[in-house]
Amino acid sequence: MKGQFTRRTTVAEYLVQRGLPADWRYGSWLGRVAAQIYRQTYGREPGRAFRFINGRFRRVMAYRPSETHVLTEAWDRYGCYAERRPAPVARPRRTAPVWDGSGDSMRWTPSDSPVRSHP
């Protein structure tokens, strides 16, 4: 029916349908691949929709029900590769060095000993 509201699907919603979390770490890349496929197929930019993400409303690319084949094709091109890819190894965080009392003049504190005259 013409003029009736149709719900558009975003990449995050598509990932939930596939059983992955909406904030899947490769979701952004999957969205970029989907947008590229959409541009090649239709010759224009994908539609946009507002979604509440990280505490505020943001414009994200969204696809009509008739255009979700783009998301499936993007998944076939990129998503299945990323799913098989091993997770990166967590590296320990580097912390600032702790001062051990060695001759760092910027951290000098006066002592109780008598003051010497400068030669």
Task: Spell out the domain ranges in the chain.
Answer: 9-84
Contacts of 65 (CB under 8 A, 6+ apart): 6, 7, 9
Section 29-54 average pLDDT: 90
Looking at residue 45, what is its pLDDT?
Answer: 93
Residue 109: band (very low, low, confident or very high) from pLDDT cuts 50, 70, 90: low
Question: Strands of 9-10's sheet, edge to edge?
Answer: 9-10, 56-63, 47-53
Residue 37: band (very low, low, confident or very high) from pLDDT cuts 50, 70, 90: very high
